[in-house]
Amino acid sequence: GNGAVGNGSVADYSAARAAELRGTIAHHDRRYHELDDPEIPDADYDALVRELRALEAQFPELIVPDSPTQRVGSAPAALFAPVAHRRPLLSLDNAFALEELVAWGKRLERVLGDPADDPVDYVCEPKIDGFAVSLTYEDGVLVRAATRGDGRVGEDITHTVVVIDDVPRRLTLNDPPAVVEVRGEVYMPLAAFAHLNEGQVEAGLPPFVNPRNAAAGTVRQKDPAVAARRRLSLWTYQLGALEGGPSFTSHTETLRWLATAGLPVNPLIETLATLDEVHRFCEARLADRHGLDYEIDGVVVKVDDLRQRDELGSTSRAPRWAIAFKFPPEERTTTLNDIMVSIGRTGRATPFAQLEPVFVGGVTVGQATLHNADQVRAKDVRPGDTVIVRRAGDVIPEVVGPVLAARPEGLPEWAFPTDCPVCGQLLVREEGESDTFCVNVACPARAAGAVIHFASRGAMDIEGLGERTVQQFRQLGLLGHVGDIYRIDWARVGELEGWGETSVANLAGAIEASKGRPLANLLVGLNIRHLGPTGAAALAKAFGHLDAIEAAPEAAMADAPGIGLTIAAAVRRWFDDAANRAVVASLREAGVDFGRIEEPSEPQVLEGLSIVVTGTLQGFSRDGAEDAITNRGGKAPGSVSKKTTAVVVGDSPGGAKLAKARDLGIPILDEAGFVELLATGVVPAPVAVAGGEPPP
C-alpha cells in the first residue's frame, strides 16, 4: 500500500534490531542455562524478549525458527550426561498486568467457546524462583533427575538431586506407575541461602547473587557432599510422561496424587473459578511474598480441566493453557555513576552508590548505601560499572554487585577517600573496626547531624526542626552546635523567605517546649556512642540528674542496673571532652530541664523482653507499635537475633526477619497475639501466619 517506502526503512531498522536482540538474548540464555552465571536480572531479560516479540508481531517476516521467542532455554552444557525428556519441558508466557491476564482469558474463550457452556477453573500456584528439574520414577523408584536444558534434552543431575531431603527416593504408592516424569522446582530456602553466603564471605569467596543462582550452582556441580551441606528443597507442580499409572481429568487431581506419592506440593495452591479471583490471588501473593521462606517471582495460572488443556494445546515454546503472572521486578541493572562518602552525626564515613535512577521494587532508586570500605571491596563495584540493584519489600535498596561482562576495560578500582569530604581532616579507621570515622568534633557534617539527631523524635522531639531547616539555619550562621538551638535569632529567621509569623512561632514554641523533655530523651539527644534509649533510661533512673551523670566516675556508672562497661566508658569519655561539656553548659544556661524523670505510664510487663515488629499492622503505626513495646519496658530492635523474644508480623513482612525467626525457633505472633502480649507480658501460643511454613 502507500507508505511502503516509509515502512521500508522502519522494517530495515527493525530487522537489524531484531537480529541484535536475538544475539543478545542468545548470549544471556547461555549465561543463565549453561553457565549458571546470569549477567542481568530476569526483568531486564524479559524486557529484551518482549521487545523482540513486539517487533516480530509487527513484522512477522522477521520470525526465524531459531528465534528465542520460538524455543525454550538453551542447549545443554557438556559437563553432565545428556538426558532426553520423554515429554518436553515447556516454558510459560508471561503476563505483567491484569489486562494481560484478561487477554489470556479471551484467548482461552476463543478456543473453548462460551464460558457459560464450558466454564474454566484456574489453578493458581506460586511461581517458585528456583531451578527447574524433571524427576523420573520407574516402578516408584527415582532413576533420574535432569535439568530442563533446551526443553527436549537436559543434563543428568541425579547425583546432586538425590541428596535433597524433600526428594523421595521411592514414591509412597502401593501401585506405582511404570514410568512417571515429575516436574518441579529445586529452590534454596532463604535461611539456607543466608547461611551459605555467610560461609562464602568467611571463606573469602564471592557470595551468591540470589537463592536461585545458589540453587542452580549447587545442583550443577560434581560433588554431592557439597549439595548435601547446602540445604535445598523442592516443590513439584506438573507431570511429564506417565505410563501405566492412573488417568486424571484435572490438574487438581494430579496435584493430589503427587502429594499422595510423597512429593512436596506447595500448600498455597488454590483452584479458583474466575479471573477476578485469580487476580486477587496474585495480589495477595504479591503482598505477602516476603513472608515466605523462599522466593517467588509470580503466580502460575493453569487451566484445571485436562480435556480443556488438550483442546488448547501448546506452541513449540509454551502451553496455551497456562500463563505466568509476573511480579514487578525487585532487581534491575543501572549505571553506578559514582561512589561518595557521607559523614554521619557520629562522624562515621559511609560510602554510598550514586546511581542512574532506576525503577525497582516499586520505587525509583538513585542512591544506595554501600555500608563500609570492606563491603565495597567485597562487592568490587567501581564508578562506571553496570550494577544490579535490588529492592525487596521493606528492605532498603541494595547494590548486589557489578555486571562484570559490561565493565569497561581498565576501569579503576574505587579507593576509600583518605580525607573527610566535608571538613578535609584525615579519616580514621581503627584496628579491628569495620567503620571509618571523621574524628574532628568540629566537622560541620557531624555538627549538623548532631543537631538533627537532638531534635529527632526519640530524643528532644522538636517538630519542624528537620534536616532542611537545620541545614538552612547552619548555612546562615544561625545555628552551630546543639546548644545554639535555644539561642536562635528569631528576628533574623522572620526575615527569611518562607518564614512567616506563624511558622516562626510554631518552631520557636516547639523548641521552648522541648526544654521540659525527660532526662532519658535528653541523654539520647546528646549523641553519645553506644548509648541508646534503653541505656539512657537506665542512666536517668539510676542518677536522676544530668549533673550527677556528668560527675559520676566510670565505675559508678558501670555499677548502675542496665549499664555495661561499654556504655559507662563511652559516657565518661563523652563528658571528659571539653567541647561536649561546653554544650551541656549551654543547655543548662538555656534552662533545659536536666532532672525530669518520667514515670512509666504503662505497667512494665515487657521488662527484659525484646520484640521485633515487621510488616504493617492494622491498629498501630510502625512507631506506635514500637512505643507500645518500649513504654512497657521492652526493647523493639530492628532485627531478629537469638535474644529476640517474639516476632510480630503484619502485612508485607520482611522475609529475612521471618526466615531468621523461623530458623532460630522464635515465636511468631499476629496482631491479636501482639495485643495480648502487650496486655499480659506473656508470649501467647504462636499462630500460623499466612503463607508461613512451620520450621522444619
> Segment 122-141, which members bind ligand IVH (CB under 6 A)?
125, 127-128, 132
Nearer to ligand IVH, 152 or 377 (CB): 152
Instruction: Copy the grid coordinates of residue 147.
Output: 535439568
CB of 383 to ligand IVH, least distance (A): 35
Instruction: Give the three-state DSSP class for 358.
Output: strand
Q: Which CB sits closer to ligand IVH, 317 or 635?
A: 317
b/e map 151-161, b = 16+ CB within 10 Å: bbbbbbbbebb
Which CB sits closer to ligand IVH, 300 or 355? 300
Q: How many CB atoms lie within 10 A of CB 246?
A: 11
Give the residue from 612, 596, 690, 688 showing the smallest Cα distance to 645.
612
φ, ψ of residue 652 to 5 degrees: the values are 45, 60
Instruction: Identify which of residues 209 and 255 has a Cβ nearer to ligand IVH in the complex.
Output: 255
CA distance readout (Å), 366 to 59, 352, 397, 488, 518: 37, 10, 9, 35, 39
Work out how close the CB of 113 gets to ligand IVH at its nearest, in angstroms, rounded to a whole number: 23
| Number of helical (H) and strand (E) elements in the chain, helices listed first | 24, 21
CA pair distance 180, 448, nearest whole angstrom: 68
Q: Determine if 301 is a binding residue for ligand IVH (CB under 6 A).
A: no
Choosing from 127, 326, 379, 660, which is the catalytic residue?
A: 127
Q: Is 222 a catalytic residue?
A: no
CA angle 51–52–54, rounded 5-degree value: 65
Measured CA to CA, the distance from residue 306 to residue 181 in angstroms comes to: 17
Nearest CA among 576, 582, 345, 595 for reference residue 484: 582
Tell me the closest approach of the beta carbon of residue 264 to ligand IVH, in angstroms.
12
* Radius of gyration, CA atoms only, the chain: 30
Rounded Cα distance between 529 and 549, Å, is 15
Q: What are the CA-CA distances from residue 177 to residues 135, 262, 323 (Å)?
A: 14, 14, 29
For ligand IVH, give the closer residue by CB, 292 or 399.
Answer: 292
Backbone angles phi, psi at 617, to 5 degrees: -100, 160
Cβ at position 97, least distance to ligand IVH in Å: 17
Q: Tell me how far apart the alpha carbons of residues 336 and 338 are, in angstroms, rounded to a whole number.
A: 6
User: In DSSP terms, which residues pair with 236 in a beta bridge?
Assistant: 184
Q: Which of residues 225-244 bind ligand IVH (CB under 6 A)?
A: 237-238
* Nearest-approach distance from CB 300 to ligand IVH, in angstroms: 4
Q: Is 38 in the site for ligand IVH (CB under 6 A)?
A: no
Angle at which helix 467-475 crosses helix 444-454, to 10 degrees, equals 130
CA dist., res. 194 & res. 201, Å (int)? 11
Please report how close the Cβ of residue 324 comes to ligand IVH at its closest, in angstroms.
5
Shortest reach from residue 134's CB to ligand IVH, in Å: 10
Site for ligand IVH (CB under 6 A): how many residues? Answer: 14
List the x/- string, 644-673, binding to ligand IVH by CB under 6 A: ------------------------------
* Closest CB 238 distance from ligand IVH, rounded Å: 5
Cβ 511 to ligand IVH, closest distance in Å? 57
Residue nearest to ligand IVH (CB): 132
Selected range binding ligand IVH among 120-128, 498-506, 559-567, 595-603, rule: CB under 6 A? 120-128
Q: What share of the chain is helix, strand, coil (3-state, %, to 5)?
A: 40, 20, 40
Q: Which is nearer to ligand IVH, 52 or 132 (CB)?
A: 132
Q: Which stretch binds ligand IVH (CB under 6 A): 5-13, 58-66, 90-98, 626-634?
A: 90-98
Does 32 contact ligand IVH by CB under 6 A?
no
Sites for ligand IVH among residues 323-352 (CB under 6 A): 324
Q: Which of 268, 300, 549, 606 binds ligand IVH (CB under 6 A)?
A: 300
Beta carbons within 8 Å of 20's beta carbon, 6+ residues apart: none
Q: Are 25 and 67 in contact (CB under 8 A)?
A: no
Nearer to ligand IVH, 90 or 182 (CB): 90
Question: Which is nearer to ligand IVH, 127 or 391 (by Cβ)?
Answer: 127
Q: Confirm or reject binding of residue 437 to ligand IVH (CB under 6 A).
A: no
Nearer to ligand IVH, 237 or 437 (CB): 237
Exactly one of 319, 347, 535, 691 binds ligand IVH (CB under 6 A); that residue is 319
What part of residues 172-201 is at the interface with ligand IVH (CB under 6 A)? 185
Q: Which residues are catalytic?
A: 127
Residue ranges in contact with ligand IVH by CB under 6 A = 90-92, 125, 127-128, 132, 185, 237-238, 300, 319, 322, 324
